[in-house]
Amino acid sequence: MEYLPNIIFAVILILGIGYFARNVQKLIRNIKLGQDVDVSENKSQRWKNTINIALGQSKLVKRPVSGFLHVIVYVGFIIINIEVLEIIIDGLFGTHRIGQELLPAALYGFLIGTFEVLAVLVLVSVTVFWIRRNVIKIKRFLSSEMKGWPKSDGNIILYFEVVLMGLFLIMNATDTVFQGANSGNVISQFIAPLFNGFSIEALHTVERIAWWLHIVGILTFLNYLYFSKHLHILLAFPNVYYGSVSPKGKFNNLDAVTAEVKLMMDPNADPFAAPPEGAEDEVPAKFGASDVMDLTKVQLLNAYTCTECGRCTSECPANLTGKKLSPRKIMMDTRDRLEEVGKNIDANKGEFKDDGKQLLGDYITNEELWACTTCNACVEACPVSINPLSIIMDMRRYLVMEQSAAPTELNTMMTNIENNGAPWPYNQMDRLNWKDE
Amino acid sequence: MSEEPKVPTMAEYMAEGKQPEILFWVGSAGSYDDRAKKITKAFVKILNKANVDFAVLGTEESNTGDVAKRAGNEFLFQMQAVMNIEVLNAYEVKRIVTCDPHSFNCIKNEYPGLGGHYEVIHHTQFIEQLIASGRLTLDGDVYKGKRITFHDPCYLGRANSVYDAPRDVLKKTNATLIEMKRHKGTALCCGAGGAQMFKDAEPGNKEINILRTEDALETKPEIIATGCPYCNTMMTDGVKFKEKEAEIKVMDIAELIANA
């Protein structure tokens, strides 16, 4: 029975990582429901973006307060997780603080000391985040799409972090050997006196409980990610890499349309020609998007990456003037619908069964789509290169080209362009009249 | 007008077997909208003053299709684009200047994929080049010390990262440039983009152009400078709504420079 803790640890570790891996597979499958998109251009710029925007958080710090606090939590989280390596080795091999044995005392002390300081900084930042969300009532956390689960989700993540940091510090404070070495216990030495009346055995028990809860907590948090907005801690990196490297004003030209326009403009094209061999089996291209499968893989990755910070919505001119459009809601709706489609596929043995629903109408309304000024404020604001505007545009394209459902005034404008090459009903031949007026 | 402005067309140049230095893409607003026509003429005045060898397409120019594309009508956009590209390529156009950031963005970024490859510059960039190369000199007294705030057009600024050219030009007039709280990357849209110019806004509690005008009024400007015919209309309407049109002028950078 000597190895029982090791075995239990290994089982927990395998279950924790295994379940997460299974969900990651599901996530990848869902993203692959999207259309292919060419992301091969400008690889060097893509890497630069990944380093600056994702790793370097360059867009995040444009809002100094939340940006600075976020950097602390981010750096703290990454660095403190080095400690997890030691926990895993100890857990699997039954060692205790393997680092203390293997590393020079000064280095180990320095590392743990750094972790402890960061843990406190993370606790402070997370507390400020909680106050910002629940006490100060910052506008972007109060929008209608932030009611219910999204609000709880945001708070649960903060509680997770408080508990994990707390356990880490308690674990160190009650470790008599570590406290005895008196190196690196920069913070925990002040927590240790709280346990003054405890016997050695009791201290040891508290230490073990904190240690086990810490690793179980980390694995739980890892698995919580898939169900939460917090996936951005992993997906921000690929998302920024695959984000656009073109000027923001460049909207894609639909290839399916180009093919048809070329045919229409070709004087040698035979309008009565029979379709080429095999063409009758082809599904005609759908113009624009009405559901998640019509969007690209990158747009679906965008949806999973969104952490609902709401910087996009807080910069959106339509939202600022009371319109229903919220770019954040566009991303949340896209993810919700994608997960619904994913569950449908799970329930129907890997095949999607039409559920009579779609992203357009059931999640996102025409009113939201038509309120957009295509100003790119949301795209500019996103700290992880999400593009809500591209989804809005693809859905507008569906409305106009598949459903002819543009607002009347826009139909008039478009008819004018078709007839006389201007959005107003003026004669093409009068185009140079300004010269003589 | 004291002097007749010279506005040659590409067809006339072609007839003489000449190629102009640059094509001036006037755009639909610049051709037909009464307010925007003044901007067009102001820019022509600058071109004439700097002896720029330019031409327009005139009646051979058609709508870029930009607004149709933003409305979701990719078909109409590509039809317009292909027609315009055919004309531009037939004239072997290499460089294009325009006063409309929407045309600028569309021709620069979206025409290449359909066979139209040109060097496209916004008129604020071109004016900056004319001043830098000494072809255009300004009277430094006209706007000296005047409080001017510049409203970034979305399709010039965020869409194409052109923030400095209009500001550099304004500084050359010796005016005092005051930035709005939201400027450059975080500038607020005037409300006209994405085909909104041609429809009523969705229900809300305010018009976007009013909110943007309030941004501008905070800087206590004498002039609100713009670089886009649609922004100009929206800001002019906003200033009128606030009953400030007696004190505050909304002017395109071309108009400011044409008088300086």
Together in a domain, A89 and A117 = yes
Together in a domain, A17 and A73 = yes
Q: Number of helices (H) and strands (E) in chain A: give both, helices first.
A: 21, 0
Sign of the Cα pseudo-torsion (A305, A307, A308, A311, in order): negative
CATH number (domain holding residue A301) = 1.10.1060
The amino acid that residue A224 corresponds to is Y
- Tens of pLDDT, residue by residue over A191-219, are 999 998 999 999 999 999 999 999 999 99
In chain B, the N- to C-terminal Cα span, in Å, equals: 16
Cβ–Cβ < 8 Å for A115, A83: yes
Say yes or no: A396 contacts chain B, CB-CB below 8 A.
yes
Quick check: is B107 in a domain? yes
Q: Which of A262, A400, A410 sits opposite B198 (nearest CB)?
A: A410
Of A306, A293, A423, give the one whose Cα is nearest residue A358: A293
* Enclosing domain of residue A133: 4-242
Give the model's pLDDT for residue B175. Answer: 96
Around Cβ A8, how many Cβ atoms within 10 Å? 12
Quick check: is A302 in a domain? yes
Of A362, A354, A304, give the one whose Cα is nearest residue A29: A304
Quick check: is B2 in a domain? no
Query: C-alpha distances in angstroms, B127 versus B9, B162, B255?
Result: 21, 14, 11
Together in a domain, A17 and A101 = yes
Counted domains in chain A: 2
**Tokens coding A11:** 């089982």
Give the best residue of B28, B40, B74 to mutate against chain A (max A CB count within 10 A).
B74
The amino acid that residue A59 corresponds to is K
- Of the three residues B128, B160, B193, the one that is the final residue of a domain is B128
Give the best residue of A62, A253, A263, A437 to mutate against chain B (max B CB count within 10 A).
A253
Quick check: is A249 in a domain? no
Q: Do the Cβ atoms of B189 and A393 come within 8 Å?
A: no
Together in a domain, A40 and A167 = yes
Q: Is the model's pLDDT at A80 over the cut of 90?
A: no
Cβ–Cβ < 8 Å for A78, A122: no
Share of chain A above pLDDT 90, in %: 88
Q: Number of helices (H) and strands (E) in chain B: give both, helices first.
A: 11, 8
Together in a domain, A411 and A363 = yes
Give the model's pLDDT for residue A270. Answer: 75
Give the best residue of B60, B89, B198, B241 to mutate against chain A (max A CB count within 10 A).
B198
Say yes or no: A18 contacts chain B, CB-CB below 8 A.
no
Together in a domain, A188 and A90 = yes
Cβ–Cβ < 8 Å for B229, B36: yes
Together in a domain, B175 and B253 = yes
Quick check: is A353 in a domain? yes
Cα–Cα distance between A161 and A168 in angstroms, integer? 11
Q: Which helix (H) or strand (E) holds B121?
A: strand B119-122
Give the model's pLDDT for residue A340. Answer: 97
In chain A, the N- to C-terminal Cα span, in Å, equals: 99
Q: Which residues are paired to B96 by β-bridges? A: B23, B120
Give the model's pLDDT for residue B34. Answer: 96
Q: Do the Cβ atoms of A375 and B41 come within 8 Å?
A: no
State how far residue A183 is from chain B, nearest Cα, in angstroms: 48
Compute the mean pLDDT over every residue in chain A, rounded to the nearest whole number: 94
Closest CA in chain A for residue B159: A249
Q: Which of A21-35, A98-112, A225-239, B62-76 has the lowest mean pLDDT?
A: A98-112
Together in a domain, A300 and A423 = yes
Quick check: is B5 in a domain? no
Of B42, B16, B156, B34, give the one whose Cα is nearest residue B24: B42
- Of the three residues B78, B93, B128, the one that is the final residue of a domain is B128
Q: Which of B108, B158, B212 sits opposite A376 (nearest CB)?
A: B158
Instruction: Sort A106 into a burial class: Cβ within 10 Å, 0-12 / 13-18 / 19+.
Output: exposed
- Tens of pLDDT, residue by residue over A373-387, are 999 999 999 999 999
Together in a domain, A90 and A224 = yes
State how far residue B145 is from chain A, nearest Cα, in angstroms: 31
State how far residue A312 is from chain B, nearest Cα, in angstroms: 11
Q: Do the Cβ atoms of B192 and A251 come within 8 Å?
A: no
Query: C-alpha distances in angstroms, A410 versus A436, B114, B235?
Result: 31, 24, 22
Together in a domain, B40 and B107 = yes
Say yes or no: A331 contacts chain B, CB-CB below 8 A.
no
Chain B contacts of A315, Cβ < 8 Å? 186
Cβ–Cβ < 8 Å for B183, B167: no
Give the model's pLDDT for residue A266. Answer: 79
- Tens of pLDDT, residue by residue over A109-141, are 999 999 999 999 999 999 999 999 999 989 999
Q: Do the Cβ atoms of B76 and A417 come within 8 Å?
A: yes
Together in a domain, B172 and B208 = yes
State how far residue A311 is from chain B, nearest Cα, in angstroms: 11
State how far residue B169 is from chain A, nearest Cα, in angstroms: 23
Cα–Cα distance between A264 and A98 in angstroms, integer? 73
Quick check: is B224 in a domain? yes
Quick check: is A436 in a domain? no
Q: Which of A253, A371, A421 sits opposite B114 (nearest CB)?
A: A253
**DSSP state letter for B9:** B
Cα–Cα distance between B94 and A38 in angstroms, integer? 28
Say yes or no: A373 contacts chain B, CB-CB below 8 A.
yes
Around Cβ B57, how many Cβ atoms within 10 Å? 22
Around Cβ A105, how many Cβ atoms within 10 Å? 11
Give the model's pLDDT for residue B1. Answer: 44
Give the model's pLDDT for residue A81. Answer: 83
Q: What angle, rounded to 10 degrees, do the helices at B123-132 and B34-49 form?
A: 20
Q: Do the Cβ atoms of B76 and A421 come within 8 Å?
A: no
Q: Is the model's pLDDT at A284 over the cut of 90?
A: no
* Enclosing domain of residue B147: 138-258
Cβ–Cβ < 8 Å for B136, B50: yes
Of A424, A435, A248, A413, give the one whose Cα is nearest residue B24: A435
Here the ipTM equals 0.95
**DSSP state letter for B251:** E
Block residue for tokens 């603080």: A97
Chain A contacts of B32, Cβ < 8 Å? 422, 424, 426, 430-431, 434
Cα–Cα distance between A344 and A354 in angstroms, integer? 9
Together in a domain, B76 and B164 = no
Give the model's pLDDT for residue A265. Answer: 80
- Of the three residues B128, B155, B172, the one that is the final residue of a domain is B128
Q: Which residues of chain B have pLDDT under 50?
A: 1
Cβ–Cβ < 8 Å for B175, B224: no
Cβ–Cβ < 8 Å for A12, A277: no
Q: Do the Cβ atoms of A434 and B63 come within 8 Å?
A: no
With cut-offs at 50, 70 and 90, classify the pLDDT of residue A275.
low
Together in a domain, A237 and A261 = no
Q: Do the Cβ atoms of B114 and A258 come within 8 Å?
A: yes
Instruction: Sort B166 into a burial class: Cβ within 10 Å, 0-12 / 13-18 / 19+.
Output: buried
Angle (CA) A46 A293 A275, round 5°: 105
**Tokens coding A339:** 């997960």
Counted domains in chain B: 2
Q: Which residues are paired to A360 by β-bridges? A: A364
Instruction: Sort A144 into a burial class: Cβ within 10 Å, 0-12 / 13-18 / 19+.
Output: exposed
Give the model's pLDDT for residue A70. Answer: 96
Of A392, A288, A249, A405, give the one whose Cα is nearest residue A334: A392
Quick check: is B1 in a domain? no
CATH number (domain holding residue B96) = 3.40.50
State how far residue A88 is from chain B, nearest Cα, in angstroms: 46
Together in a domain, A67 and A93 = yes
Instruction: Sort A89 into a burial class: Cβ within 10 Å, 0-12 / 13-18 / 19+.
Output: middle
What are the DSSP calls for A294-361, one per residue? GSBHHHHHHHHH-----HHHHH-HHHHTT-S--HHHHHHHHHHHHHHHHHHHHHTTT-PPP-S--HHH
State how far residue B81 is from chain A, nearest Cα, in angstroms: 10
Quick check: is A163 in a domain? yes
Together in a domain, B155 and B60 = no
Angle (CA) A182 A185 A190, round 5°: 105
**Tokens coding A212:** 């086990």
Q: Which of B28, B80, B191 sits opposite A373 (nearest CB)?
A: B191
Together in a domain, A168 and A44 = yes
Chain A contacts of B198, Cβ < 8 Å? 409-410, 412-413, 423
Restricting to A residues 269-298, those with a Cβ less than 8 Å away from any Cβ of B are 287-288
Cα–Cα distance between B37 and B43 in angstroms, integer? 10
- Tens of pLDDT, residue by residue over A146-197, are 999 999 999 999 999 999 999 999 999 999 989 998 889 999 999 999 998 9
Q: Do the Cβ atoms of B159 and A376 come within 8 Å?
A: yes
Give the model's pLDDT for residue A118. Answer: 96
State how far residue B255 is from chain A, nearest Cα, in angstroms: 16
Block residue for tokens 């867009």: A59
- Of the three residues A207, A242, A277, the one that is the final residue of a domain is A242
Together in a domain, B169 and B59 = no
Query: C-alpha distances in angstroms, A50 versus A23, A57, A296, A301, B70?
Result: 24, 9, 20, 15, 29
The amino acid that residue B231 corresponds to is C
Together in a domain, A318 and A229 = no
State how far residue A243 is from chain B, nearest Cα, in angstroms: 15
